[in-house]
Structure formats: structure tokens, C-alpha cells
Structure 1
Amino acid sequence: MSSTTRDRILDALQQILIERGPSAATLEAVATAAAVSKGGLLYHFPSKAEMMTALIRRLAERAEAEFRQALEGDEGVTRVFLRVSLPQTSQEAALYWSIIAALRGNEDISAEAREIVHGIFARWSHLLHEEIGDPVLAETVRLVGDGLYLSALADLPQPDPAVLRALTDRLTEQAAVPASSREAVPAEEPRQG
């Protein structure tokens, strides 16, 4: 657990979101779980929306580390994106599911928090398009990753690990082919009708 009171509060919020979901993350419940008074919590976070925004900022820092790894590491953007599209633990999946539920619920989420989440997804899209060069293939990779992510969060059936590895390998190999060497995808003719 983090050492500062502010971090303890965010840790408590995160644990409540994981265990009980966004509706259980009241100021009182978070204060109790963080072992601070409600006044102490309000000193750091005057509202639930500000507390949720701070947690989303903290998760965005993790995303920034993933962006750096994708850009600076040996794996490349496509492989890192597909790898991090699957939550590593059930707790991570529950946390992100709760955040998506809170975003969908339109309560206690600031415009800043929404922009941060949107920015993370937009940044991955930009990095994929930049690395791949082919907009159709870049969107295919993005949609596969987003589908893996949402399927995992919703606890839907997951692909066989061997198939997932083969899928990741195939998309990574295709992404590595220079755009000028790929077959052009003809534009679809408008239907007459």
C-alpha cells in the first residue's frame, strides 16, 4: 500500500472498485477503507469526481509507461498493444470494468477524467497508425486489441492461448511489412440500387 494519505485513499478507492464496483465507492466507504476521517478525505479530494479523476490520472501514468515500452523496446507498438490489451490479473480487469461502468453511468466522472481515458485510446490508435502506415491494418489491430480488452473485462470467453499467440504473431508480422510492399486494398465500389 502506498505511504501518503492521498495514495492510501486512491488505493482504497481502487480496492472498492475492484471488489464492489463504482456504486459502492462512496466518500464514506473510501474514508473508512483508507483509515482516514471523511474530513481528511475531503481535504485531499473535495468530491468523488475529483477522487475518481486522480485515480484515472494514476492509471494514465501506467499507460504512459506502456507507450514508452512500445516506442523504445524491441517488441514494437503492435505487439505491445496486443499484449497489454489483456488485463494481467482479474483484479486489473475488475478495476477497468468499474471505471468503464462509472464512465457509462455519467456520474462522479469529470470531463477531465473522460478526456484522459479518451486520450489513452487515441494515443494507442495514433501509435499504431504511425508504426503500421496502412490505415486498414492499423484499425484492424486496434479493433482486435479493443475487442480483447473488452471481452476480458466483461469476462467473455477468451481465445485459446495458442490461437492468441498466433494472432499476435500474424498481426505483428503484417505490421512489420513496409506499407509500400503490401497489396493495396481497393476502395469498395458504391452499390447501385
Structure 2
Amino acid sequence: MAATSTRDRILDALQRILIRQGTAAVTLESVAAEAGVSKGGLLYHFRSKQAMLQGLTRRIDEDAEAEFAQATREGVDVVRYFLQTSLPESDEEAALYWSVIAALRSGEGLTDDGTEVLANVFNRWSELLTDYIGDPVLAETVRLVGDGLYLSALSGLPRPDPDLLRRVFDRILEQVAATRGA
């Protein structure tokens, strides 16, 4: 098993601080201490807080690319996959993305490049859904349902009733099947 790189340890530490305390607690010193590296060691990989946050957004982009690859492999229903992955898998994942969104909204530490990386994730899903469904209006409806579920979960709102959510997904999937079969 390969050892975790120092860069990954720093990004993992950044994530933990974002989850526990939010963007205001992120400093070069706090991340270095959490990662178990010297400030100089951190600066070797990331020259600033902004660079660390950009590194994290790049990691999120890489994770999203892996999801896109999974969603587009042969035999996968892109709509079903998108809807099923629209709810964060854990409270930790939700807290991380909420912190990144908060950093985006505040402008703290994220450049246009960081914002562009995250916008790319949303745009890629729109493209995949439109290509798969063939109807841009229905694709946008699906994306908005998924985004609504995701952002509701991130903000700590209660999850929808599982039976009702299953029926919502079923209705959407029926509509997609009818559209694709037309």
C-alpha cells in the first residue's frame, strides 16, 4: 500500500479543518499543524491559503471526473446514477462541500480558477444529462432536482421521505424513458 503523499496529507488536513471549523479557521499554521508538517513543508506544496483551496477544488474536480467516467461507462443509466449520487454519502462529505461553497460565496481564498473548476462540475452534469436524455428541458429538470437534493442536504435540511423520494425518482425515470424511446 502506497504511503499518502505530503500534498495529500495537507489537503486531507485542510478538509478536516473546513469540516470542523469552516474557512475562517484555515491558516497556513493550522493546516500545517493538522497535517503534521512544518510550515515550510506546507509552503513547498502550497504557497498560500488560496493555493491550498485551489488544490482542494482540483481534487474535487478529479473526483468528479471519476464520477463522470463511472456514469458514462457502458450500460449505466446516467439519470439514475446522477439522482442516486445527488445526496452526499456522509455528513462529512456534506460538511466539506458546504465549506467549499461558503468559501466560494465569500470569495475568501478562491480565485476565478477555483470557481471555474466547480462550475465545470455542474456544467459537465448538464452536458451528460442532455446528451443522455436528448431533451434539454427534461435534462435541466433532472439536474435541478439533483442539485436541489444536494444543496438541501448540504445545508442540513431534513432528507425527503425515502418512499416519496423513490416515487419522485421513478416518475423522473419514466419520463426519461418515454422521451428517449420517442
1:30 alignment partner in structure 2: 31
- The 5-angstrom pairing of residues 44-59 of structure 1 reads 44-59=45-60
2:71 alignment partner in structure 1: 70
Percent identity, aligned pairs only?
59
The aligned amino acid for 1:69 is: Q
Could you report, residue by residue, the CA deviation over 1:91-112 in whole angstroms, capped at 9, with x for unpaired residues?
0000000000000011200221
| CA deviation after TM superposition for structure 1 residue 56, in Å | 1.1
Q: Secondary structure at the match of 2:87?
A: coil
Unaligned residue ranges in structure 2 (runs of 5+): none
- Work out whether residues 49 and 109 of structure 1, in 8 Å CA contact, stay in contact via their aligned partners in 2: yes
Query: How many residue pairs are counted as aligned between the two chains?
Result: 181
Q: Distance in 1 between matches of 2:74 and 2:114?
A: 28
Q: Distance in 1 between matches of 2:173 and 2:74?
A: 14
Residue 158 in structure 1 maps to residue 159 in structure 2: yes
Q: Distance in 1 between matches of 2:26 and 2:74?
A: 37
RMSD: 1.6
1:133 alignment partner in structure 2: 134
With normalisation by structure 1, the TM-score equals 0.89
- Work out whether residues 22 and 102 of structure 1, in 8 Å CA contact, stay in contact via their aligned partners in 2: yes
Could you report, residue by residue, the CA deviation over 1:105-133 in whole angstroms, capped at 9, with x for unpaired residues?
11200221111100000000011111111
Q: Distance in 2 between matches of 1:92 and 1:46?
A: 26
Q: Distance in 1 between matches of 2:78 and 2:32?
A: 39
Higher mean displacement: 168-177 or 46-55: 168-177
Q: Distance in 2 between matches of 1:80 and 1:172?
A: 11
2:111 alignment partner in structure 1: 110
1:186 alignment partner in structure 2: none
Could you report, residue by residue, the CA deviation over 1:28-51 in whole angstroms, capped at 9, with x for unpaired residues?
110100111111111110011111
| CA deviation after TM superposition for structure 1 residue 179, in Å | 4.8
| CA deviation after TM superposition for structure 1 residue 74, in Å | 3.2
The aligned amino acid for 1:148 is: L
The aligned amino acid for 2:61 is: A
Residue 88 in structure 1 maps to residue 89 in structure 2: yes
2:42 alignment partner in structure 1: 41
Q: Distance in 2 between matches of 1:33 and 1:85?
A: 30
Unaligned residue ranges in structure 1 (runs of 5+): 182-193
1:13 alignment partner in structure 2: 14
Check 1:121–1:10 CA distance in 2 against 1; reply closer, same or farther (3 A cut): same
Check 1:86–1:27 CA distance in 2 against 1; reply closer, same or farther (3 A cut): same
Q: Distance in 1 between matches of 2:7 and 2:162?
A: 39
Higher mean displacement: 157-166 or 171-180: 171-180
Q: Secondary structure at the match of 1:72?
A: coil
- Work out whether residues 17 and 98 of structure 1, in 8 Å CA contact, stay in contact via their aligned partners in 2: yes
Q: Distance in 1 between matches of 2:75 and 2:84?
A: 13
Q: Secondary structure at the match of 2:72?
A: helix
With normalisation by structure 2, the TM-score equals 0.94
